[in-house]
């Protein structure tokens, strides 16, 4: 090829630009923003079918990404769920199996992996993980995020925006939700309705705060092309939700926006655990992750190459580290249709301060809700007792009974399902070095050899 005189240098430069796109050296990896709310149940957003609580920001994110309808946290209190999210390990393997607990000192977490991959890793807002050496984020307050985004970035960033809302104590806000129906798994009392309305007010606050961060992301040019996730650590502080392994405690919202990869407005009913998020993010960033993690990457689901990566997901809760709580070990295995809950100390009364004592910080609290059930009649008394006193086994058909109102553990037709799920759960507990593994096996003998 003959190059005209005077065009040789231009041609060489053009060739270099084509071979090495602008900014390739500065930033080849995607920026990642994770919005993590506190105590937000899955069903409490417009994109999940709730027409009462306004969540326009979360709903917009859903229209731009993929909504997961069967995403689970392994535990329904803050520190263990967040530790599982950041380590890709279930609670007993990472060491933080109780609230306000710590992971093992040698545990590696999201900031270790992403820093090694060339990222700056920031946690803005609520922390609730420890020790700090195991979670070497760049820490900042949420109001500092706009200033951070305004600066020049030589590295890609992974930004975790950790909200406090909609965590209790709950306050009914002026101009907020008025008369709302109590949630479908609870008795319909005025106190339950007021508590629900106050919670919805706080969900709306969380949605607004996410919107403010998204504004600054777009303002500084990061909105359209960044990977964005929205999820919650666990469900709200209602009876049969937080502090339990019922669906309303561990089934969480999960929305993933990945421009150019995830088809907007898509939905997946694949079983996903919070421990799957870390390996997923690492694959999104083009980085490897150790095969010793409990989690699996859901990138094949996001790309619509696979419909599932897990046959079951698991949960564990012991009620320790919670104020005024007694030891009450609960374990669960969730399958495609059925869910088995094992209450290893079913003879005990389930107890914790938030349900047994008034919350002097709040206008309306969970103790008032439970008391209102007891005063509402026989059905309310029965429901309150079902919360405080539980059988050894609970089996639910989540397809027919999503609110877990009918325990099928005594259904002889489902005995094989119960035994199979129980033994799979026992094996998982042994692999996790769960301290209640031996008790689980002993209980198996009592339950299935009679």
In tens, the pLDDT along 159-184 reads 999 999 999 999 899 899 988 999 99
Is the link from the previous residue into 131 a cis peptide, with omega within 30 of 0? yes
Question: Residue 450: what pLDDT?
Answer: 58
Q: Which CATH architecture has domain 316-448?
A: 2-Layer Sandwich (3.30)
Vertex 164 angle, CA 159 and 170, to 5°: 160
Question: Residue 347: what pLDDT?
Answer: 84
Residue 248 makes CB contacts below 8 A (sequence gap 6+) with 41, 43, 183, 185, 235, 236, 238, 240, 241, 403
Which residue did the predictor score with more confidence, 25 or 278?
A: 278
Q: What is the pLDDT of residues 333-370, one digit of tens each?
A: 999 999 999 999 888 999 999 999 999 999 999 999 99
Q: Which CATH architecture has domain 32-310?
A: 3-Layer(aba) Sandwich (3.40)
CA atoms of 2 and 214, how far apart (whole Å): 51
CB of 409 closer than 8 Å to CB of 395: yes
Q: How far does the chain reach from its first CA to its final CA, in angstroms? A: 88
Question: Residue 288: what pLDDT?
Answer: 84
3-state secondary structure of 262: coil
Where do the domains of the chain lie? Answer: 32-310, 316-448
Quickly state the pLDDT bin for 9 (edges 50, 70, 90).
very low
Question: Residue 447: what pLDDT?
Answer: 82
Question: Residue 1: what pLDDT?
Answer: 37
Question: Residue 26: what pLDDT?
Answer: 43
- Which whole number is the average pLDDT over 186-202? 96
pTM: 0.93
């Amino acid at each position: 090829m003959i190059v005209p005189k005077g065009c040789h240098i231009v041609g060489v430069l053009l060739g270099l630009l084509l071979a090495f796109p602008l900014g390739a050296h500065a930033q080849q990896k995607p920026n990642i923003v994770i919005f993590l709310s506190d105590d937000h149940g899955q069903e409490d957003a417009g994109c999940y079918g709730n027409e009462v609580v306004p969540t326009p920001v979360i709903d917009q994110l859903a229209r731009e990404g993929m909504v997961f309808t069967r995403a689970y946290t392994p535990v329904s209190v803050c520190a263990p769920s967040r530790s599982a999210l950041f380590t890709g390990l279930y609670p007993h393997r990472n060491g933080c199996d109780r609230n306000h607990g710590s992971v093992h000192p040698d545990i590696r977490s999201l900031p270790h992996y992403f820093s090694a991959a060339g990222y700056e890793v920031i946690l803005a807002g609520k922390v609730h993980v420890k020790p700090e050496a195991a979670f070497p984020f760049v820490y900042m307050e949420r109001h500092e995020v706009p200033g951070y985004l305004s600066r020049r970035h030589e590295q890609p960033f992974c930004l975790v925006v950790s909200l406090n809302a909609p965590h209790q104590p709950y306050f009914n806000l002026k101009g907020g939700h008025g008369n709302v129906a109590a949630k479908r798994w609870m008795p319909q009392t005025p106190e339950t309705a007021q508590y629900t309305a106050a919670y919805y007010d706080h969900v709306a606050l969380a949605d607004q705060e996410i919107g403010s961060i998204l504004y600054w992301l777009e303002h500084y040019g990061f909105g359209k092309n960044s990977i964005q996730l929205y999820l919650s650590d666990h469900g709200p502080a209602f009876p049969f939700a937080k502090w339990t392994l019922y669906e309303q405690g561990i089934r969480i919202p999960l929305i993933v926006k990945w421009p150019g990869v995830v088809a907007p407005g898509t939905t997946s009913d694949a079983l996903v655990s919070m421990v799957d998020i870390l390996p997923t993010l690492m694959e999104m960033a083009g980085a490897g992750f150790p095969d010793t993690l409990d989690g699996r990457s859901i990138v094949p689901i996001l790309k619509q190459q696979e419909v599932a990566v897990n046959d079951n997901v698991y949960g564990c809760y012991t009620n320790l580290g919670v104020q005024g709580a007694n030891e009450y070990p609960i374990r669960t295995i969730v399958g495609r249709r059925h869910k088995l809950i094992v209450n290893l100390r079913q003879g005990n009364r389930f107890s914790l301060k938030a349900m047994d004592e008034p919350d002097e910080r709040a206008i309306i609290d969970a103790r008032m809700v439970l008391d209102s059930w007891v005063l509402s009649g026989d059905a309310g008394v029965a429901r309150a007792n079902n919360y405080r006193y539980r059988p050894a086994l609970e089996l639910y058909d989540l397809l027919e009974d999503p609110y877990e109102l009918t325990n099928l553990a005594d259904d002889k037709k489902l005995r094989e399902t119960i035994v199979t799920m129980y033994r799979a759960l026992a094996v998982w507990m042994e692999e996790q070095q769960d301290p209640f593994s031996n008790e689980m096996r002993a209980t198996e003998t009592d339950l299935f050899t009679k």
